[in-house]
Chain A
Amino acid sequence: DGGITQSPKYLFRKEGQNVTLSCEQNLNHDAMYWYRQDPGQGLRLIYYSQIVNDFQKGDIAEGYSVSREKKESFPLTVTSAQKNPTAFYLCASSIGGQRVEKLFFGSGTQLSVL
């Protein structure tokens, strides 16, 4: 079955530590996205990528980094510079170009600070 796989489901970060969230899709989608979800605030865009080896900052990119070396993979690193990383992180994908009609979401990763 085609879909988006995020791992791990739960992740804990210590002070000063970088952690990486995995996102893999087998939908052959060109575009991939990372969103952060906080209670009562909806989804905020962290980074997005429309094509391999290219990505753009979203609304809240500070303290995060990404790479897009393969079409199917878009890992997100939460760096120690992100002072409030506790949140639910959602990865999504879509077909590219102007024909985007919907986003396909993974099941999310809950990141907490120890």
Chain B
Amino acid sequence: QKEVEQNSGPLSVPEGAIASLNCTYSDRGSQSFFWYRQYSGKSPELIMFIYSNGDKEDGRFTAQLNKASQYVSLLIRDSQPSDSATYLCAVIIAAGNKLTFGGGTRVLVKP
């Protein structure tokens, strides 16, 4: 079992709709969770981080964390074509210092 798992996609979403991305992790002691967006040929950009159970909203993005079920999700509201990218879930596993990445979910927002 991979430490951090994501559906590779592509997740096709109509413009204006909500994109819902999921990520599960295996280490129950993990404390820090991140979502990065990576455009093709570019480096990752941090868009959300969440440390506590529940929801965290920032603009059109909402991160949801459920430590009991070991998943973290990202909602993108009012999806725009410019949101088309690969979204990477990353976790700092317990007792670790480095990010462990999922394989990424490719999102395609169609006009």
The answer to whether A and B belong to the same complex is: no
Residues of B within 8 A of A (CB): none
Chain A interface residues (CB < 8 Å from chain B): none
